[in-house]
Structure formats: structure tokens, C-alpha cells
């Protein structure tokens, strides 16, 4: 039988840097593995996933991604929800190299405009520790660890302000465990973008979409690479009332 195991954080950080992390609906996040580190990194394709209503408004759709790594009998998996597309958001971040702790974030820009994104990291007392601005081109995606972005150890609020709507997910790595980090977003907004997916080299991503309404909806599901090029698509997918579909990549 396959068994589920936790990942080693110090190893995870290295692999994540190589392939970049998902995730709204475009989403996907990569969780590295020790055996991969000692070898030449495998060919891994990453990017984001967009779900577009064709018939229906998208209201009542639930979207999330399951990202999985298989290494022999070991199966590593996490689940991340599609966040709202926002221009202002925040999450709690924690980075401490002495104990193998770091927060990874994946940002996708689903618009046709470049996004100038300002990230500000504060400590527990609310004081600014570091700040920087990055530019994310239209239909592009990027993944970074907080330690990579700022080069400091700190725990506190990471605020994000963008000149164009973006989707963002966070993953907290702590020792031999990892978990999704909640982000601030407008309540009730439709979240149809997953900022990251990963496939190849043992990785796979399953996008799950559920229709919680009493009306049928038809959607398109597009997988984009980090440079905004569609690498896979599923057109005119019928979602019956209370129906659920799974799209693997």
C-alpha cells in the first residue's frame, strides 16, 4: 500500500526554488522531496489554472487543487483553495532558518496588464521589517519563499498591494510539515483562479470543481505555464446541479 509522509523542509525549499510554486482558480504548489535534491531536477511543468464560466455566472462554484508527489510507495499531498482575485490582501508569514521554517507564496496575474506588486513584511508588533516591489507581467505566475523575497527571519503580517488584480496562495513549511495559509479576501467573491499547478517528475495536480447551485453550468478549464501560454485545456465542461468534476494535469 502507498503511505503518506511529511516532507523535510530544508529539502523542500531547494526544490521549490528550482521549479517555482499555484496556485486560483488558478493554483498549484510544489512540495520538494529529498531524493530529488541529490539528483538533476526532473522536468516539472508549473503554472496556474483558470476556470471560465461559459454558461452560468460562476456563482456557487467551488474550486480547489490537490497537488501530489509520488516517490515509490511514498505519497505527498496537500490541498489549496482557489482564492479571490484581489488588489489588496495579507497573510501571516513566518521565516526562521534556524528551525527550518519558511512561508512560500505563489502569485498569478490573470489580467492583460502588468501588475506592480508591493510586499511589506511586519513583525508581531506591527513594525515594518522589510518591503519590496516586484513586477509580474500579464498572464504570468511566480513562486517565492519569504526568505528569498526579503532575506530576513521574521514572523508577522505580510501585506500585498497590487496595481492589477492578482490571485495568491501561501504555504507554511515548519519542520517536517506544511499547511495552507489563509489570506484576506473580499467575502462572497467568485474565486476561479488557482495560482499554481505542478506536473511531471512525479508531480500531478487534480483540480476539483463543484457546482453547489440548482442550475447547470458550463465551464472552460485552462492550464497556463508561468509565461501565460496555454499548455492544456478542457472546453465546455458540463457541471450539472450539485455535480462535481475532476480535471487532472
Position 188 scores a pLDDT of: 58
Please report the domains of the chain, with CATH numbers, ordered by start residue. Answer: 3-248 (2.60.290.11)
Position 181 scores a pLDDT of: 82
CA-CA distance, 91 to 108, in Å (whole number)? 16
Position 222 scores a pLDDT of: 92
Position 202 scores a pLDDT of: 76
Position 189 scores a pLDDT of: 65
Position 238 scores a pLDDT of: 92
Element (H, E) at 221: strand 217-225
Distance of CA 99 to the CA centre of its chain: 24
Position 187 scores a pLDDT of: 60
Q: Are strands 61-71 and 203-211 parallel, antiparallel or unpaired?
A: antiparallel
Residues with Cβ < 8 Å from 94, sequence gap 6 or more? 101, 102, 103, 146, 154, 155, 172, 174
pTM of the model: 0.75
The single residue listed with the C-alpha cell 511529511 is: 6
Digitized pLDDT (tens) for each residue of the chain, 249 residues in all: 433 333 332 333 323 322 233 323 333 333 333 333 334 456 778 888 889 999 988 888 888 888 776 767 777 677 878 888 889 988 888 888 888 889 989 999 999 999 999 999 998 888 899 999 999 999 999 989 999 999 998 888 899 999 999 999 888 887 656 677 878 776 656 778 888 887 887 778 889 898 888 889 999 999 999 899 999 899 999 999 888 898 987
Amino acid at each position: 500500500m502507498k503511505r503518506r509522509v511529511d516532507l523535510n523542509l530544508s529539502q523542500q525549499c531547494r526544490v521549490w526554488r528550482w521549479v517555482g510554486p499555484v496556485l486560483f482558480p488558478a493554483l498549484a504548489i510544489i512540495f520538494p522531496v529529498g531524493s530529488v535534491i541529490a539528483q538533476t531536477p526532473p522536468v516539472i511543468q508549473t503554472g496556474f489554472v483558470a476556470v471560465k464560466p461559459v454558461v452560468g455566472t460562476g456563482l456557487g462554484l467551488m474550486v480547489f487543487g490537490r497537488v501530489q508527489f509520488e516517490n515509490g510507495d511514498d505519497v505527498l499531498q496537500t490541498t489549496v483553495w482557489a482564492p479571490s482575485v484581489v488588489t489588496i490582501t495579507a497573510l501571516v508569514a513566518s521565516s526562521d532558518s534556524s528551525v527550518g521554517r519558511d512561508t512560500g507564496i505563489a502569485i498569478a496575474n490573470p489580467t492583460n496588464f502588468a501588475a506592480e506588486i508591493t510586499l511589506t513584511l511586519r513583525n508581531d508588533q506591527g513594525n515594518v521589517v522589510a518591503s519590496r516591489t516586484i513586477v509580474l507581467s500579464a498572464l504570468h505566475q511566480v513562486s517565492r519563499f519569504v526568505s528569498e523575497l526579503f532575506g530576513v527571519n521574521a514572523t508577522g503580517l505580510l501585506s500585498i498591494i497590487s496595481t492589477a488584480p492578482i490571485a495568491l496562495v501561501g504555504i507554511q513549511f515548519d519542520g517536517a510539515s506544511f499547511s495552507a495559509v489563509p489570506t484576506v479576501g473580499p467575502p462572497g467573491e467568485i474565486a476561479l483562479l488557482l495560482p499554481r499547478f505542478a506536473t511531471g517528475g512525479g508531480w500531478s495536480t487534480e483540480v476539483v470543481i463543484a457546482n453547489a447551485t440548482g442550475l447547470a453550468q458550463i465551464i472552460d478549464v485552462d492550464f497556463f505555464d508561468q509565461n501565460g501560454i496555454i499548455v492544456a485545456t478542457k472546453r465546455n465542461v458540463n457541471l450539472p446541479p450539485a455535480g462535481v468534476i475532476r480535471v487532472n494535469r
